């Protein structure tokens, strides 16, 4: 089942787009609730990706003493947001498949009429899990596979096995076929970061992603830390990098467009119930509040949230400068 467009959800979406349009004229007001909510099923990961805060620290994400979102917290979130939200995303910092309750969470969100998305490294995927994910009503799954060979893949997904990612795509494709699910109801996306370590495989990936089991391919630029002197993961062709070399010999972020719809249309809720403006708040520095303190819709409209949006419009927030949406 695709997301149900109820009267309250449509009305909320129209208010969101109107408020966003007004904000671009300088009038920042919020009379709506989030259109999408990203929940963090797990704040831990089995891989050690060098540009990921969880991978770099080998610890649960910042401020998280509880590595997995509980069903009680999830149901509290779902019972509120199902009234006005259209989409629920099951990912933030960690690996969602590590939460043993993930399948139940997806099933309950699906039953509530929400469009559901999971993003995963797929290292924990099994054939049985793929069947259950499809039967649970998942709308879309993003499988991160940054390379076709182990050498290219493992250069970034440290500790990962490219064959497990390949198998996951195959299991998902077979499950989709077995249960006769259309692309409209369930989509498999292969996502690959554009890195120097895999750039010789981009064209092959474009040619073969469908034969691997994916419905679509997303090649994304990568956020890098300590990039000013260059970076070993930075693509050799600057067209596929977020950074370019300046006259001073240093690398700088490319200019970004002003005004991000995502901070007007959604929020992230961490495994411990912190409400954040977006997925780029990886250090939890801009928290609007906690689910235990107030409803998400109320936190979404509070003074902290409004101040963040004003600063984002003025291009004053560092995380917005790092983003490449």
**What pLDDT, in 10s, does the model give residues 111-125?**
999 999 999 999 999
pLDDT, position 59:
47
pLDDT tens, position by position, 260-304: 899 999 999 999 999 999 998 988 999 999 999 999 999 999 999
What is the per-residue pLDDT for 64? 47
Q: How far is Cα of residue 296 from the mean position of the Cα atoms in its chain?
A: 19
Kindly indicate the confidence band of residue 166, based on its pLDDT and cuts at 50, 70 and 90: very high
How long, in residues, is the chain? 325
Q: How many CB atoms lie within 10 A of CB 26?
A: 8
Q: Compute φ and ψ for 81, nearest 5 degrees.
A: -75, -20
> Smallest Cα–Cα separation from 147: which of 135, 161, 136?
161
Helix 102-111 vs helix 71-81: angle between axes, to the nearest 10 degrees?
20
Decide if 53 contacts 43 (C-beta within 8 A): no
Residues 28-42 as b or e (16 or more Cβ within 10 Å = b): bebebbbbbbbbbbb
How many C-beta atoms lie closer than 10 Å to residue 48's C-beta? 16
Q: Does the pLDDT value for residue 257 go beyond 80? A: no
Q: Is 223 exposed, middle or buried (0-12, 13-18, 19+ CB in 10 A)?
A: middle
Is the sign of the CA dihedral 14, 20, 26, 30 positive or negative? positive
Q: What is the DSSP code string of 193-208?
A: EE-TTTGGGHHHHHHH
Res 35: pLDDT: 98
H-assigned helices in the chain: 7-23, 53-57, 71-81, 102-111, 127-135, 150-156, 162-178, 202-212, 262-265, 296-300, 303-313, 318-322
Three-state secondary structure call for residue 142? strand
Q: Are 42 and 95 in contact (CB under 8 A)?
A: yes
pLDDT tens digits, one per residue of 194-250: 999 999 999 999 999 999 999 999 999 999 989 999 999 999 999 999 999 999 999
**What is the C-alpha to C-alpha distance for residues 109 and 77, in angstroms, rounded to an integer?**
10
């Amino acid at each position: 089942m695709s997301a149900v467009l109820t009267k309250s959800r449509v009305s909320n979406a129209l208010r969101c787009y109107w408020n966003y349009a007004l904000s671009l004229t300088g009038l920042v007001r919020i009379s709506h609730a989030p259109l999408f909510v990203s929940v963090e099923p797990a704040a831990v990961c089995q891989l050690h990706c060098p540009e990921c805060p969880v991978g770099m620290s080998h610890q649960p994400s910042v401020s998280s003493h509880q590595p997995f979102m509980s069903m009680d917290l999830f149901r509290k979130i779902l019972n509120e947001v199902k009234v006005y939200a259209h989409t629920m995303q099951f990912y933030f910092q960690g690996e969602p498949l590590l939460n043993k309750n993930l399948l139940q969470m997806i099933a309950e969100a699906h039953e509530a009429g929400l469009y559901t998305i999971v993003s995963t490294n797929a290292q924990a995927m099994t054939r049985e899990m793929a069947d259950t994910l499809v039967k649970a009503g998942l709308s879309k799954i993003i499988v991160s596979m940054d390379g076709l060979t182990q050498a290219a893949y493992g250069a970034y997904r440290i500790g990962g096995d490219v064959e497990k990612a390949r198998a996951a795509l195959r299991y998902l494709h077979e499950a989709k076929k077995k249960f006769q699910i259309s692309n409209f109801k369930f989509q498999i996306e292969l996502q690959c970061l554009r890195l120097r370590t895999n750039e010789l495989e981009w064209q092959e990936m474009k040619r073969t992603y469908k034969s691997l089991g994916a419905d679509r391919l997303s090649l994304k630029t990568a956020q890098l830390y300590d990039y000013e002197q260059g970076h070993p993961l930075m693509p050799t062709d600057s067209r596929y990098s977020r950074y370019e070399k300046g006259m001073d010999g240093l690398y700088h972020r490319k200019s970004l467009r002003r005004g991000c719809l995502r901070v007007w249309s959604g929020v992230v809720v961490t495994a411990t119930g912190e409400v954040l403006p977006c997925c780029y708040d990886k250090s939890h520095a801009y928290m609007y509040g906690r689910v235990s303190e107030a409803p998400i819709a109320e936190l979404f409209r509070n003074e902290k949230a409004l101040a963040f949006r004003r600063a984002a419009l003025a291009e004053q927030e560092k995380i917005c400068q790092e983003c490449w949406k």
